Amino acid sequence: MRVLRACKELDISSVTVYSDSDRNALHTRYADEVYYLGPAPATESYLKIEKIIEVAKTSNAEAIHPGYGFLAENTEFARACEANNIAFIGPHSKAIELLGDKIASKETMSRAGIPVIPGSPTAIEKEKDAIRTAEEIGFPVLIKAAGGGGGKGMRVVREKKELTGAMKQAMGEAQSAFGNPTIFIEKFLDAPRHIEFQIIADNYGNVVHLFERECSIQRRHQKLIEESPSAIMTPELRERMGKAAVKAVKASKYTNAGTVEFMVDKDKNFYFLEMNTRLQVEHPVTELITGIDIVKEQFAIASGEKLSLRQEGIEMHGSAIECRISAEDPKQNFAPSTGRIVELIEPGGPGVRFDSGIYEGFEVPIYYDPLIAKLLVWAPTRTEAIKRMKRALGETVVRGIKTSIPFHLIVMNNSKFIAGEYDTTFIDRVLGKLQYKKENYEIAAIAATLGKILGEQQAVTVKAQGQSYISLWKLAARPSKYKREL
């Protein structure tokens, strides 16, 4: 939907694809042309390169935007586009191959003089190699998929006995998510901050960065909340990290939009982590603080235009926060929650942006990533942004499934988060076992149901014996007390 909206504003005719489970998805209603790909499993639809190229040819598409999942960082897909004279709205296949592969990208950055996290210089295939590498750099270590990101194919290993099982799990998950089971190992940093820099580069050697995004609120290496600017950033550190990000892009001859990711330790030393050779889920955070439409910039660069942006002319204003709304139940350890959305009330008001792919009546499928919406706010200061986010989260209603909204409210009310004192261990170390308040709309739903049962059109009151009228809200909240009257 994000890409399709950019197409609409640029007067570009759009074509989209869908699988069986996405037959009624919002993007199929919005695009100018819609084509069927195949069954619900991604390996039979969204990961089928030849099917997507076939649709592009059938519809006479000039370009393909890969979004930020599935084949977005797949070298073979970019090559297939190039071979069929279809513009890939992203970097050249050679850059994806170099930087999309986490092992090769670390080697490139090290040669360019950019600090990297210690780890295996090549892919790990055998258990004995994994054990040797882990013992050389010291436990704990992090097993990572070489061909993708988003927390998929990643496992923290703290002891030698855990290594074999973690390798198998990571390889299986990487194969399922990216079609590439290759893994590598690197040192697991203790309580770092995860900070990334958005970059844009054209085909003529011009490169700019659009400042940082803080992505340290994570669960199982999956980002849940992002913000900009980072609470720990100083002008001097921002300048050094920004220059390192631009240097990384030039060293790899990268073009289009991308993200250079760093880990920052307690002493504010930063290390190159990886580069995402695609549009990031959290890109709207940067759009809100800079006023730059990153997707439109992607289209312009892919069509051969020179970058109109200059580093000295890019400024950041205010503070922006994004909460990823997922179809998960945080009260049940973020268990997937699928089903039909029976009610949707989107937030609004000043400084609020709601990017989603859902609507009332939409059936949330079980096959894909649980992300269903992104709630963003902008305000002049971080304090105001947090208050605005709390207000917007309170306005958002998604009934029929469970969502991560209660979790986000807890974070926004946490004193450590409000003070900007957090890192990638925040959820486990600070929040611990979360306690959630019962949502008022559940009480309201019970009251409305009782009203229908009693045949009351407006569900107002029920007369109790020997006393005045009792509200259905009281009945819903304390049914045992009024059992006889009910």
| Strand pairing category for 328-329 and 335-336 | antiparallel
Both 387 and 449 in one domain: the answer is: no
Both 9 and 140 in one domain: the answer is: no
In the chain, how many domains are there? Answer: 4
Both 316 and 425 in one domain: the answer is: yes
CATH number of the domain encompassing residue 157: 3.30.1490.20
* Mean pLDDT (whole number) for 194-209: 98
Domain that holds residue 343: 193-431
Do residues 290 and 320 touch, judged by C-beta distance below 8 A?
no
* Mean pLDDT (whole number) for 86-95: 96
Omega before 39 within 30 of 0, i.e. cis: no
Per-residue exposure over 386-405, b if at least 16 CB sit within 10 Å of its own CB, e if not: bebbbbbbeebebbbbbbbb
Q: What is the per-residue pLDDT across 45-81, written as a single tens digit (0 to 9) for each? A: 999 999 999 999 999 999 999 999 999 999 999 999 9
pLDDT given for residue 130 in this prediction:
86
Q: What is the per-residue pLDDT across 143-161, written as a single tens digit (0 to 9) for each? A: 988 776 667 788 889 889 8
Both 128 and 205 in one domain: the answer is: no
The band of 485, judged by pLDDT with boundaries at 50, 70 and 90, is: very low
Both 471 and 363 in one domain: the answer is: no
Both 270 and 358 in one domain: the answer is: yes
Both 173 and 256 in one domain: the answer is: no
**Residue that finishes a domain, picked among 187, 206, 229:** 187
The band of 249, judged by pLDDT with boundaries at 50, 70 and 90, is: very high
pLDDT given for residue 455 in this prediction:
57
- 486 falls within a domain: no
- 107 falls within a domain: no
Query: What residues act catalytically?
Result: 278
Say whether pLDDT at 378 is over 90: yes
- 273 falls within a domain: yes
Both 283 and 390 in one domain: the answer is: yes
Both 276 and 174 in one domain: the answer is: no
pLDDT cut 70: percent of the chain above it: 88
**Residue that finishes a domain, picked among 64, 96, 128:** 96
Which of 137-141, 175-179, 198-202 bottoms out in mean pLDDT, i.e. has the lowest?
175-179
The band of 424, judged by pLDDT with boundaries at 50, 70 and 90, is: very high
Do residues 268 and 241 touch, judged by C-beta distance below 8 A?
no
CATH number of the domain encompassing residue 284: 3.30.470.20
Say whether pLDDT at 277 is over 80: yes
- 257 falls within a domain: yes
pLDDT cut 90: percent of the chain above it: 69
**Residue that finishes a domain, picked among 137, 167, 187:** 187
Burial label for 484, CB within 10 Å (0-12, 13-18, 19+), is exposed
Q: Say how many CA atoms lie within 13 Å of 278 toward its Cβ.
A: 25
Kindly report whether the global pTM for this prediction surpasses the value 0.85. no
The band of 123, judged by pLDDT with boundaries at 50, 70 and 90, is: confident
Burial label for 1, CB within 10 Å (0-12, 13-18, 19+), is middle
The band of 435, judged by pLDDT with boundaries at 50, 70 and 90, is: low
Which of 33-47, 139-153, 305-319 bottoms out in mean pLDDT, i.e. has the lowest?
139-153
Residue 112 token pair: 């360019």
- 112 falls within a domain: no
Both 287 and 391 in one domain: the answer is: yes
* 305 DSSP assignment: P
**What's the mean per-residue pLDDT of the chain?**
89
Residues 6+ away with beta carbon under 8 Å from 211: 197, 198, 228, 229, 238, 242, 286, 289, 290, 314, 316
Both 308 and 199 in one domain: the answer is: yes
Both 400 and 330 in one domain: the answer is: yes
The band of 442, judged by pLDDT with boundaries at 50, 70 and 90, is: low
- 43 falls within a domain: yes
- 485 falls within a domain: no
Q: Residue 359: what are its φ and ψ, rounded to 5°? A: -160, 165
Say whether pLDDT at 140 is over 70: yes
- 106 falls within a domain: no
CATH number of the domain encompassing residue 39: 3.40.50.20
The band of 436, judged by pLDDT with boundaries at 50, 70 and 90, is: low
| Strand pairing category for 87-88 and 63-64 | parallel
Q: What is the per-residue pLDDT across 398-411, written as a single tens digit (0 to 9) for each? A: 999 999 999 999 99
Say whether pLDDT at 370 is over 50: yes
